[in-house]
Structure formats: C-alpha cells, structure tokens
C-alpha cells in the first residue's frame, strides 16, 4: 500500500478515464483516505499510472473503495456505463425472458458462444488487496463447492500450482484457461503470489468452467461450439444458482455485483461469440457503426488486448451496469443477428 501524497506524474498523451478525471483537486480530497482494508487512492490508480495506455486505469480494493473514493469512481462509472449516482441496478438471470433462437443453426458464421460473469466473495477484500491466506481460503472454499456439483456441471478442479506446462498450454489453447495476468493486472496487485491460490474447474465435457482468483475471485463461464446462445445462458444461470447455495457473492443495490475493475460492475457479464465476418472485417467503419448501434465490443480471438485472425472476431456486449443479465445477452444476440444479415448481403 503506497502512501505518496504527491499528485502523480501523468503522461501528456494519457487517454485513460483515470487521466480524464483525476484532477489535482480530486487527488487532494482523496490522498489521505484509506478503506478499512488499508487501500489508498495510490493503490486505486497504480495500474493506470504505470500503464499509460490503460483505457480505464483504476481498480478497487474492496466494495468500500467505490464509496471511499467516489469522487474518482463516480465520474468514471458515469463515463463508461452511462450510470449515475442515483441510478439503481437490477438483476435478471431468468433465461425464460431471453428471446434468442439460434441465429446460425447451420454454423456458417458462429464458431462458439461463451457467457461469463465475475463474482467476488462477500465480506472479503478484492484480489487487489486480499492477503495470501484469504486468497487460499477462497480457493479451498470455492473448489469444495464446485467439486460437489452434480449432473451436467459435474467435473474436476485443477490448481495452477503444480499444473504441468503441457496441461496449462492445452487449456489456454482450448480458450479454457487464463494466461498469467497481464501487466495491467500485475500493476494492480492481482498477480501477487502467482500461481498460488489460482486454478480452473471444468465439467467433464468442458462446457462449464470456473476460474478461481484471476482478475475476480470467480469467473463463472458457460461455453460451447455453435450459436445456441440460449442454451449457454441457461447453463450459466443454473450454475450460478447452484454455487450460490454454498458461497455468498458481494452485491449492492446501487452498483450490483462488486468487481475489481469498474468496467465489470453490475452484471459483471460478458456474453460473446467467436464469429466469422471476413467481409465486414474488410470495412471496419461499417462494422463499428453496427457494433456501436447494438452496444457491442469487438475483441480479438485470444481475449482482451489480442487481435482477430482470419476474419474471426470476438463480439460481445459492452453494457454491464444499469442493464440486466438478460439485456446483456439480448444486446449480443440482437447485434449478432444484424451483423450476420449485413455479412450475408455483402
């Protein structure tokens, strides 16, 4: 926990929301504050100060961070999510409310569908501030809950500690496992004691996965080949319900599920398809007009900060807070239908 009370050196060409909203006045108001876990404003901004190419540049250390440092978090949340201090977040994890028949039953375009949520354990610091002891306790408690799952969700937990390089590389190339955290997470303190306390659970047919202690304490993931988006969402909601019988997640009525990065607050949900759109890919201006209209984000096929390959794109919802989980998936579905329609016509 650093305690430098001087306003940080922010590069002239820094375009992050940190640089946009951390004025000397805001810093002076926050520089002596700490949360009950000892998290300071210097800890909140460390990743964005060390990585001037950050998009956001801040991480919370605990749920209280979003209140203690609200002078910085509130304008960032408003800017990214369009969500104001008086807005209320609502959750809806009922797949019956989703209108999403498979948009590509012949699998001409959609290679695979994946829907994930981030979750953190109620009453504990987030990964940025947690102790090694508590992180290991989370791994123990959550892996025991997962190993008790039955039916389609039944599977095995694989700790990263002791995992062979061959198994790890295979899981990464299957898109099932997270890579060692990137420099943004490193700066935020999310990789401390790596790989201790980290691991992956997956069911026997690898359509349900849980990452433990990566960017959030749980990443609960449902995925399968093809475009049956409703089946993927249904499996995820069933799994969340089962895990919640054993583990209480950090949630509040204003900003929903609490996550270390403010971009994931609310639903903490990213619903994505890996989809072949080579013709649209040749006209990125038109491509982005459509993704903007449907509140979609374009990523590369090896995750955040990666590039697309062979005309294949990772298309997902951008909105996470101030919309329900059903709306996140509906955003993605409606946008994918529009993208396929245009691709067909080119």
The catalytic residues are: 116, 215, 219, 261, 263, 270, 299, 304
Q: Are 306 and 300 in contact (CB under 8 A)?
A: yes
CA dihedral angle for residue 262, residue 268, residue 274, residue 280, rounded to 10 degrees: -50
Select the binding partner of residue 261 from ligand DAR, ligand ADP, none (C-beta < 5 to 8 A, by kind).
ligand DAR
Helices 325-345 & 284-293 angle (0-180, nearest 10) = 150
Task: Report, in Å, the least distance between residue 184 CB and ligand DAR.
Answer: 3
Q: Which of 320, 301, 299 is CA-nearest to residue 309?
A: 301
DSSP conformational letter for 262: G
Report cis status (omega within 30 of 0) of the bond before 195: yes
DSSP conformational letter for 298: E
Residue entry with tokens 């590369």: 300
Q: Which of 43, 59, 57 is CA-nearest to residue 11?
A: 57
> Binding of ligand DAR at residue 179 (CB under 6 A)?
no
Contacts with ligand ADP, 17-56, as mask; x by CB under 6 A: ----------------------------------------
Task: Report, in Å, the least distance between residue 133 CB and ligand DAR.
Answer: 25
The DSSP result for 45-100, as a single string, is HHHHHH-TT-SS----SSTTHHHHTHHHHHHHHHHHH---TT--------GGG---
Task: Report, in Å, the least distance between residue 48 CB and ligand DAR.
Answer: 6
Residue 217: alpha-carbon gap to chain centroid: 11
DSSP conformational letter for 214: S
| Stretch in the footprint of ligand ADP (CB under 6 A) among 78-86, 141-149, 199-207, 295-303 | 295-303
Q: Which of 144, 183, 143, 145 is CA-nearest to residue 160?
A: 143
Q: Which of the residues 21 through 60 are near ligand DAR (CB under 6 A)?
A: 54-57
Contacts with ligand DAR, 4-23, as mask; x by CB under 6 A: ------------x-------
> Binding of ligand DAR at residue 184 (CB under 6 A)?
yes
Select the binding partner of residue 56 from ligand DAR, ligand ADP, none (C-beta < 5 to 8 A, by kind).
ligand DAR
Task: Report, in Å, the least distance between residue 308 CB and ligand DAR.
Answer: 18
Bridge partners, 119 (sequence order): 218
Alpha helices in 216-283 (DSSP H): 229-244, 278-281
Select the binding partner of residue 68 from ligand DAR, ligand ADP, none (C-beta < 5 to 8 A, by kind).
none
> For ligand DAR, which is the closer residue by CB, 55 or 75?
55
> Binding of ligand DAR at residue 304 (CB under 6 A)?
yes
Near ligand DAR by CB under 6 A: residue from 14, 72, 153, 261: 261
> For ligand DAR, which is the closer residue by CB, 213 or 264?
264
Task: Report, in Å, the least distance between residue 126 CB and ligand DAR.
Answer: 12
> For ligand DAR, which is the closer residue by CB, 23 or 297?
297
Q: Are 334 and 327 in contact (CB under 8 A)?
A: no
> Binding of ligand ADP at residue 332 (CB under 6 A)?
no
Q: Which of the residues 108 through 127 are near ligand DAR (CB under 6 A)?
A: none
Rg (CA), the chain: 20
Token pair, residue 198, equals 């980290």
CA distance 311 to 186: 31
Contacts with ligand ADP, 80-119, as mask; x by CB under 6 A: --------------------------------xxx-x---
Near ligand ADP by CB under 6 A: residue from 63, 228, 314, 331: 314
Per CB under 6 A, residues contacting ligand ADP are 112-114, 116, 175, 219, 223, 270, 272-274, 299, 301-304, 314
Per CB under 6 A, residues contacting ligand DAR are 16, 54-57, 184, 215, 261, 263-264, 304
């Amino acid at each position: 926990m650093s305690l430098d009370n001087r306003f940080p050196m922010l590069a002239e060409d820094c375009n992050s929301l940190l640089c946009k909203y951390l004025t000397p006045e805001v810093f002076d108001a926050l520089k002596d504050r700490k949360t009950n876990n000892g998290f300071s404003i210097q800890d909140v901004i460390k990743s964005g100060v060390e990585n001037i190419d950050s998009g956001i540049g801040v991480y919370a250390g605990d749920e209280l961070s979003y209140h203690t440092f609200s002078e910085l978090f509130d304008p960032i949340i408003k800017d990214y999510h369009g969500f104001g201090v008086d807005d209320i977040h609502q959750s809806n994890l009922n797949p019956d409310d989703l209108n999403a028949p498979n948009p590509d039953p012949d699998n001409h375009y959609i290679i695979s569908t994946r829907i994930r949520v981030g979750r953190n354990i109620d009453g504990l610091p987030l990964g940025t501030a947690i102790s090694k002891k508590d992180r290991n306790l989370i791994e123990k408690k959550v892996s025991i809950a997962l190993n008790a799952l039955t039916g389609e969700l039944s599977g095995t937990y694989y700790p990263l500690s002791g995992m062979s390089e061959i198994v790890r590389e295979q899981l990464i190339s299957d898109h099932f496992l997270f890579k060692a955290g990137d420099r943004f997470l490193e700066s935020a303190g999310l990789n401390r004691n790596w790989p201790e306390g980290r691991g992956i659970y997956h069911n026997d047919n690898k359509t349900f996965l849980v990452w433990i202690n990566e960017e959030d304490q749980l990443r609960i993931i449902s995925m399968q080949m093809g475009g049956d988006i409703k089946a993927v969402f249904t499996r995820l909601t069933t799994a969340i319900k089962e895990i919640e019988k054993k583990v209480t997640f950090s949630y509040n009525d204003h900003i929903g599920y609490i996550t270390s990065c403010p971009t994931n607050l609310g639903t903490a949900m990213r619903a994505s398809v890996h989809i072949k759109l080579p013709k649209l890919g040749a006209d990125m201006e038109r491509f982005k007009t459509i993704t903007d209209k449907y509140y979609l984000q374009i990523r590369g096929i090896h995750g955040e900060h990666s590039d697309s390959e062979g005309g294949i794109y990772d298309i997902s919802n951008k909105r996470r807070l101030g919309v329900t989980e059903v709306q996140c998936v509906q955003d993605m579905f409606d946008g994918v239908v529009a993208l396929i329609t245009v691709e067909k016509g080119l």
